[in-house]
Amino acid sequence: MEGARAAGVAAAVEVARQVLAGGGDALDAAEAAAVFLEEDPAFNAGTGACLNAEGEVEADASVMASDGRSGAVAALRGVRNPIRAARRVMERTDHVLLAGEGAARFAAEEGLPTADLVTAESRRRYREMCTALESGGAGEGLRHLARGRDLARRAAARARTGDLGGTIGAVVRDDRGLLAAATSTGGMWMKLPGRVGDSAVIGAGTYAAPWGAASATGHGEGILRLGLTRRCVDLMRELGAQEACRRAMDEATSGGVECGIIAVDGRGGTGDATNGWMPTARWTG
């Protein structure tokens, strides 16, 4: 899948570039890139996202701009583009985060398109994982699963499916100096229903300030404990994006957290780092 993901990231950058060229700001561009990747089944976000222990997609997403505006959704089912729902929370409510059924109702009231986000490939992968659990094996992608295994075994009789992919993120600086970050994911395979990871949490999976913006991927529980993107952005008060990413990743590695991060600083410099979670595909322009 690596070639497909690289092509998807390159195309998403071009989508964002066109938004900026057309007069959109950094937030518009970050959202557009995220929407494009949510609709690409090569990634673990939107269509084709991984499945929880009951064989359903529960999506987490968040957006933030460097002027402090932010919005997020968690454990959201049946909405085609969770990142759009996150932005609507930011723009149309007094809240930052809506979750579960309430988030779904809000998205419906906003007229956002619904969709079955489960693909044939994700159903196949889900069955593989159920088989691995029933036979006592861990299965690829289940390294961080522990107490949820019994539930996953019970869900095996109702198995539907899923494919390994990656959380998607976008960070943008526009020519007016606004910075923005957007992050979207289906979370981790076989997670307990209702589990929320870092991608829905401002300061964990997504963060932006006048001096930097960052988006993270990896083991959500660890990223939550670290407040990884807030830490990376704080480092950009004095450091460029690449050095801030490197230092944040060193701290994550010291804490035993597998993850990756992308960032842009207030001068337009970009950075990325990973400690083995997965390759970080990045294009800039």
Task: Judge contact between 128 and 144, C-beta under 8 A.
Answer: no
Distance CA 264, CA 242 (A): 8
3-state secondary structure of 216: strand
| Active-site annotation, residues | 167
Handedness of CA 41, 47, 52, 58 (dihedral sign): positive
Give the tokens for residue 179: 């910075």
Of 102, 122, 124, the residue nearest 56 (C-alpha): 122
Structure-block tokens of residue 51: 């499945």
Upper half-sphere CA count for residue 20 (Cβ side, 13 Å): 22
Whether 220 contacts 198, CB under 8 Å: yes
- What is the maximum alpha-carbon separation in the chain? 56
Altogether, the residues listed in the chain come to a count of: 285
* Alpha carbons 47 and 52: distance in angstroms, whole number: 14
Residue type, 278: M
Query: How many other C-beta atoms can be found within 10 angstroms of the C-beta atom of residue 108?
Result: 14
C-alpha 170/C-alpha 168 separation (Å) is: 7
Task: Give the whole-angstrom CA distance, residue 196 versus residue 166.
Answer: 16
Three-class secondary structure of residue 67 per DSSP: coil
